[in-house]
Amino acid sequence: MKVAVVGATGMVGEVMLKVLAERDFPITELLLVASERSVGKKLTYKDQEHTIIGLQDAIVSRPDIAIFSAGGDTSLEWAPKFAEIGTTVIDNSSAWRMDPSKKLVVPEINANELTVEDKIIANPNCSTIQMVMALNPLHKKYQMKRVVVSTYQSVSGTGVKAVRQLENEIAGVQGEMAYPYPIGRNALPHCDVFMENGYTKEEMKLAREPQKILDDRTFSVSATAVRIPTAGGHSESVNVEFHNDFDLSEVRKLLSETPGVTVQDNPETNTYPMPIYAHGKDDVFVGRIRRDETQRNTLNMWVVSDNLRKGAATNAVQIAEYLVENNLVISTSEAVS
């Protein structure tokens, strides 16, 4: 595969390259793509130095797969241009997620919906991915009615500017602010921009994306998204009401048997998921599994994952792996011939 990583110099792009190398993705030629200000710079992949190129040069090179992590505006403008020449685009922005003509994919859940005709594939929001990974097996068994989720999200979800703000605050250094308030020793109930309904865009992603991924609009999701001063990893308090009753031991068994999910749930030994231990791992960790004693058929759980890996880079690479393994990528050279 000739693979382009668009946004290679960004936080997610760097993790993308790391994940591609770790998983030994079959790359015959790697194109590292970034904005004009980064063109000509060097990056190393598998001990080999690569020169950053621009988007137009990447188009000319006709990659078979292009993994985008360069923001929604870039994706809206450039993803169709890549798709037009036969490249399969996996996009990490929110640009295409709710487009009814595009698939929104978590491989463990709905990769089987992909076809060779899908030329722009959307990667879900990081918080959505970890939540649906935990909810999917339970929804199949007990049928969800309503989900209430509160997130505790790392500054890395905002980007390098926010990470720098937190580091500056810890060091007592005045610097550029990514947020309207200090983030150190604080919690901001403000992820993304506010909308007319009083929710933020992040909260509405959590409300809408799970329905599309699970192909089911019979359940509802209400979300509150909070930014906290952790360097990596998102946490979520998930309260889910089912139509059918459940057994807690069966819930733990279902989650334990779900690929990509690890159960860490033993209050006696203080065993529960935490972002500090999820860092650098690809699994979604679930713990604090307990019955909501105030309402019938309702479960509480705590869900944690590395937002830059399974929440972004790893999920995108897994989509690419599925496409290759199932012969759903047509080489652009073949497309031309």
Question: Dihedral sign, CA of 65, 112, 18, 91?
Answer: positive
Catalytic residue among 50, 139, 191, 234: 234
Catalytic residue among 126, 139, 191, 279: 126
Q: Is 208 annotated as a binding residue?
A: no
Counted residue by residue, the chain has a size of 337
Q: Is 337 annotated as a binding residue?
A: no
Q: Is 269 annotated as a binding residue?
A: no
Q: Is 165 annotated as a binding residue?
A: no
Q: Is 164 annotated as a binding residue?
A: no
Told to judge if 191 belongs to the known catalytic residues of this protein, a careful annotator would answer no
Identity of the amino acid at 212: K
Q: Is 317 annotated as a binding residue?
A: no
Told to judge if 126 belongs to the known catalytic residues of this protein, a careful annotator would answer yes
Q: Is 112 annotated as a binding residue?
A: no
Q: How far apart are CA 111 and CA 319, in angstroms?
A: 7
Residue 90 belongs to what H/E stretch?
strand 88-91
Q: How far apart are CA 162 and CA 170, in angstroms?
A: 12
Q: Is 239 annotated as a binding residue?
A: no
- DSSP states of 122-175: EPPPHHHHHHHHHHHHHHHHH-EEEEEEEEEE-GGGT-HHHHHHHHHHHHT---
Question: Dihedral sign, CA of 58, 60, 61, 67?
Answer: positive
Q: Is 307 annotated as a binding residue?
A: yes
**Which parts are annotated binding residues for phosphate?**
97
* Binding-site residues from annotation for substrate: 153, 227
Q: Which residues are annotated as a binding site for NADP(+)?
A: 9-12, 37-38, 156-157, 307
User: Which residues make up each annotated binding site?
Assistant: 9-12, 37-38, 97, 153, 156-157, 227, 307
Please identify every residue annotated as catalytic: 126, 234
